[in-house]
Chains A and B, each alone.
Chain A
Amino acid sequence: MEKRVTFGRWTIGILFAVPQLILIFTFFYWPAGQAVYWSLTLQQPWGGGNIWVGLDNFRSILANADYWNSITASMIFAGISTGLAMIIALVLAALTDRQLAGSWLYRVVLIWPYGIAAPALALAFRFILAPEAGFMAVVNKVWPGFWDPGLDGTDAMASVIIAFSWKYVGYNFIFFLAALQAIPRSLIEAAAMDGSGVIRRFWDIQFPLITPTIFFLLVINITESFQDSFGIVDIMTAGGPANATNLMVYKIYSDGFKGLDYSGAAAQSIILMLLIIALTIVQFRFIERRVHYR
């Protein structure tokens, strides 16, 4: 949509956009271009600039079992935590939307976890899920050796998934509730008059009407699971044990800054970028359908 009334003097107009343009050029486009350049070159160990190696960096990454392990771990993490966070949030939102007495309390409280920094909640969950103290210790007392995220990769993955889902239930809840409350009340009442029960109304009226929100949240949750997981992984497991929780962003960080392999890290960044761009394009199609200007 365009404005009918605008201001002449377009030179002034461009000036307003200059600060942001400088910022995104310096801190977005240049680094993104740099990443492409690095991914296609190799830094020489004795200095003297980069040499062109074409797609060799990508080839060596894709031939690396560690990298595939990292992709698999990221996919498992993204899939399970997104599923958990969304299903729990949808159930809670649908029930809150019934507006029984006291539902305001849930509207207020359920969003709280989203305000917490990922590393802070990670430390909290590291204690809560610690095998020797905290609460899983009780389970370990009954079945010795049942739970040890420090040694068992599956347990470690489960811990990071729990911590991440806990944070994103609140986020998803807010969006689901907003979407549910946007559905005209008369629609629900008409269906009730026709004799359909609460569950029938949910599947036949509410669920179809909030599918755009579901798609939107699906993409956001997956993208966030790639980025926001870094703090959780770094505090809870540091990628271990035996790389079981070495998610993609964590691997980029450890290869680039610990291993000082800029070219390899850049190539990994490019792959992750392409993945996220693909997801965003999918999302954009659904957002377009949702946004209405007056």
Chain B
Amino acid sequence: MVERTPILNFFTHLILFAGFVFCVAPFVIVAIAASHNLKDVNDVPMSLLPGSDFWVNIKTAWTTADLGPKLLNSFIMAFGVAAGKVIISALTAFSIVYFRYPGRMLIFWLIFITLMLPLEVRIVPTYAVVTNVLEPYQTIMDLTGLSWLIEKISGVQVQLSLGLLNSYSGLILPLIATATGTFLYRQFFLTVPDELTEAARMDGAGALRFFVDILLPLSRNNMAALGTIMFLWAWNQYLWPLLITTDQSHAMAVTELKQLIPNVGGAPEWHIAMAGTLIVMLPPMIVVVLMQRWFVRGLIATEK
């Protein structure tokens, strides 16, 4: 505070408090609606005093949308994406920053361009690739005459086929195929002093040793930030799981929400819908609250 401005301070508090209410109100309303019964939730205006059916509704929503296995699926997927990103981006950034080889800049740009086109935009062809991930390689072999050659020599017809629909790898791998984390690491690696590398090399450490024993421990903050961001991002994915998981046993918690929308003509079971929403909201909320520091740092550093 630089000077005394009582009137302005009053308005500052007022506006900030309004912003606070604007942010928190939807959470509160969802929680209250989840505690009402069918009649009370449809009252106009809905009572803002919590009802008594909270646990009953949670249980109904849990069984209606079969949330137990769905939440587990979401966890596996979100964790897989976060872990995959943290590891693969570190490897690539290490390669780009600490080595000089022909085509290094080409690799840098190839990865950088992936930042431009999010999965949602190229959803149709990516889906086609996942129905058979080996199709690109099959096509390349066909076009180059390689499969013809193999057929001539060994008599085996080359038919590469591996469908990833309804599998965790089909869910996870395409979400890892972006550049987000790579540049976070790259920026950090560039700030690591050269003297450290020199000292390590003088002591006889090779590239792998330096990477595992020095660079990775130094990047712990980056890993936490990137992991948090990626976990939330993957948990909140919707379009991709919706397409890939046609089989109920692989469905995600977030896509399952659609089951809870009250149908037109049916009973307006908003209390169940809100209870389900609350359950699906909760895990990312816990991550945001517990990992706030890393979350904010990751958000600003990755600049998606």
Contact = CB atoms under 8 A, between A and B. Distances in A.
A9 B207 contact: yes
B3 A137 contact: no
Contacts of A223: 118
B124 A262 contact: yes
10 contacts: A10-B102, A17-B92, A92-B15, A115-B285, A127-B29, A127-B274, A130-B270, A166-B23, A198-B5, A230-B120
Contacts of A115: 232, 284-285, 287-288, 295
B2 A231 contact: no
Interface stretch (A59-67, A72-80, A116-124): A116-124
B26 A23 contact: no
A211 B44 CA distance: 45
B41 A17 contact: no
A231 B44 CA distance: 28
8 interchain residue pairs of minimum CB distance: A13-B99, A10-B101, A16-B95, A31-B125, A115-B288, A117-B236, A34-B125, A231-B238
Nearest to A248: B121
Interface in A9-39: 9-17, 19-21, 23-32, 34-35, 38
A293 B187 contact: yes
Interface residues of B, number: 114
A178 B299 CA distance: 11
A136 B150 CA distance: 68
Contact of A273 (B117, B239, B289): B117
A103 B9 CA distance: 12
**For this complex, into which size category does the number of interface residues on chain A fall?**
35 or more
Contacts of B118: 223, 227, 276
A14 B89 CA distance: 14
Given A23-B177, A124-B274, A235-B258, A188 B207 contact: no
B129 A88 contact: no
A100 B13 contact: yes
A109 B277 CA distance: 19
A1 B111 CA distance: 17
Contacts of B198: 5
Contacts, number: 323
Contacts of B157: none
A204 interface: no
Interface string B262-304: 0000001010011011001100110111001001100110011
Contacts of A257: 124, 127, 243
B100 interface: yes
A68 interface: no
B146 interface: no
A141 B19 contact: no
B46 A133 contact: yes
Given A106-B20, A110-B23, A293-B190, A17 B91 contact: yes
B186 to A, nearest CB: 10
A135 interface: yes
Contact of B270 (A24, A35, A134): A134
Nearest to A224: B304
Nearest to B286: A115
Contacts of A189: 2
A31 B122 contact: yes
B111 A20 contact: yes
B124 A252 contact: yes
A32 B5 CA distance: 57
A55 interface: no
B124 A188 contact: no
B133 interface: yes
B150 to A, nearest CB: 21
A158 interface: no
A175 interface: yes
A106 B16 contact: yes
A46 interface: no
Contacts of A156: none
A132 B267 CA distance: 12
A189 B120 CA distance: 47
Nearest to A175: B300
A3 B190 contact: yes
